[in-house]
């Protein structure tokens, strides 16, 4: 039922009192005890918590091997290297994601080739993958965006037909499943992030996972200075290949281990809160809610909505309306935002085609790669009209908080003409 209320952005009362939405992540006595024990330990570099974190995360996700890293970006680079992608090779990736989903390809001198998204899922449009494959294509990076898995049956079928490696970018998708199987267990290898905003937060950090021993060993060389022995082994300190320093540290790993003990319950809370929010927002004119296709279990890392500007009587560029709606919702006390303002092909690092100077790595390819943004209309449409939220759906926030956020959003949409 439509209501007429003065928006907080226009001088009206806030829909949600200050302090209602609690911060993320919740810190418990388990976190304090494990981090303090690490602090008082003897090894603050790659210590015992790092090894334990690898084993525990692999067991939680269902992988044979895991390597703890200093970021999800590092884990992605390790995946690209482990899969043998190198100078001049092409790697397919979605046109809409965080920049690391594609810059990790550049990190190993390979060339990103973008594929437009499916509007409903916001993931790579699997129907458009095959058309992007060339004789130079080496791998596909399947980005499980915002906690929703890509259709991995389709991705793997294409990869098998063309003899391609499949890398899962699961940095936002801890615990998401497709046909009952967790992300990070479908492809040849996968990367997770434990950044502040992630469903498993250790401040910073990440994890490379695989079931393939050869890929694990290749990733580990890149991970630690090009050496073939890990810090827990007897090292000869010889660089056998080009390597980075992507290792994690004991304090961060201790925090990650503590948070991992509650990760399953965190995800359950997010799903419950997302359903409460969806129920509150259902039928709101001009608002497109996130989808959960059959066979998928969404974790709602980000509850991403889209604005149907035409349905709200807006005839100008949709991004202009979005830029009015977001601060109006925030003024009501609901912390929402815009996750990514640009599609990846529009970013300067790809448009310039000069990541390492002298045109590298694009000069190493056999044919030019076109990053004309008009090729990715669905990704651009999404970018111009989206907003979303993470914290309101996270523990310790309840379904009551989620419903309050829904009422705040609905208030803005039902009185949106006050912003025109």
pLDDT for res 2? 59
Q: Pick from 223, 245, 262: which residue ends a domain?
A: 262
Give the contacts of 75 (CB within 8 A, at least 6 positions apart): 67, 69, 171, 191, 192, 193, 206, 207, 208, 246
Is the same domain home to 224 and 295?
no
Is the same domain home to 145 and 282?
no
Distance between CA atoms of residues 353 and 70, nearest Å: 27
Is the same domain home to 212 and 298?
no
Is the same domain home to 42 and 172?
yes
Is the same domain home to 139 and 36?
yes
Is the same domain home to 73 and 160?
yes
Output the six-digit token pair for 5: 């209320």
Name the strand (E) or helix (H) holding 386: strand 386-389
Strands 386-389 and 303-307, by their bridges, are antiparallel
Is the same domain home to 210 and 162?
yes
pTM check: above 0.85: yes
Is the same domain home to 80 and 222?
yes
Note down the domain range covering 252: 29-262
pLDDT for res 309? 97
Is the same domain home to 156 and 142?
yes
349 lies in some domain: no
Helices (H) and strands (E) in the chain, counts: 13, 13
Is the same domain home to 386 and 250?
no
Is the same domain home to 133 and 88?
yes
Taking only the tens place, the pLDDT of each residue in 30-58 is 999 999 999 999 999 999 999 999 999 99
pLDDT for res 228? 78
pLDDT for res 296? 98
CATH number, domain containing residue 187: 3.40.640.10
Residue spans of the chain under pLDDT 70: 1-3
Distance between CA atoms of residues 100 and 340, nearest Å: 12
């Amino acid at each position: 039922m439509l209501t007429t209320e003065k928006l907080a952005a226009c001088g009206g009362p806030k829909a949600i009192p200050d302090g209602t939405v609690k911060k993320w992540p919740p810190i418990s006595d388990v976190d304090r005890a494990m981090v303090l024990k690490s602090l008082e330990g003897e090894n603050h570099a790659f210590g015992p918590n790092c090894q334990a974190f690898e084993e525990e995360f692999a067991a939680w996700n269902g992988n044979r091997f895991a390597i703890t890293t200093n970021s999800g970006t590092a884990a992605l680079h390790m995946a690209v290297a482990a899969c043998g992608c190198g100078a001049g090779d092409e790697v397919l990736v979605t046109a809409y994601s965080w920049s690391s989903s594609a810059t990790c390809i550049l990190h190993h001198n390979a060339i990103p080739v973008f594929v437009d998204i499916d509007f409903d899922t916001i993931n790579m449009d699997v129907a458009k993958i095959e058309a992007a494959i060339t004789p130079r294509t080496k791998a596909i990076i399947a980005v499980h965006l915002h906690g929703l898995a890509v259709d991995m049956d389709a991705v793997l079928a294409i990869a098998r037909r063309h003899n391609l490696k499949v890398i899962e970018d699961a940095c936002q998708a801890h615990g998401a499943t497709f046909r009952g199987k967790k992300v990070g267990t479908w492809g040849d290898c996968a990367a997770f992030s434990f950044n502040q905003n992630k469903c498993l937060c250790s401040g910073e950090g990440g994890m490379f996972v695989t079931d393939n021993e050869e890929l694990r060993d290749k990733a580990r060389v890149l991970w630690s200075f090009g050496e073939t022995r890990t810090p827990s082994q007897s090292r000869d300190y010889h660089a056998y290949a080009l390597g980075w320093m992507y290792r994690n540290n004991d304090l961060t790993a201790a925090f990650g281990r503590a948070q991992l003990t509650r990760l399953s319950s965190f995800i359950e809370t997010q799903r419950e809160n997302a359903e409460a929010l969806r129920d509150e927002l259902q039928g709101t004119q001009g608002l497109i809610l996130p989808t959960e296709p059959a066979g998928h279990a969404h974790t709602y890392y980000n509850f991403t909505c889209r604005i149907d500007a035409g349905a709200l009587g807006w005839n100008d560029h949709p991004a202009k309306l979005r830029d009015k709606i977001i601060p109006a919702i925030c003024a009501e006390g609901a912390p929402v935002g815009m996750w990514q303002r640009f599609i990846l092909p529009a970013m300067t690092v790809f448009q310039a085609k000069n990541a390492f100077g002298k045109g590298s790595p694009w000069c190493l390819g056999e044919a030019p790669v076109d990053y004309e943004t008009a090729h990715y209309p669905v990704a651009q449409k999404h970018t111009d009209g989206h907003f979303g939220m993470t914290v309101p759906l996270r523990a310790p926030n309840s379904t009551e908080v989620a419903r309050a956020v829904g009422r705040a959003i609905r208030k803005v949409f039902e009185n949106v003409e006050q912003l025109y």
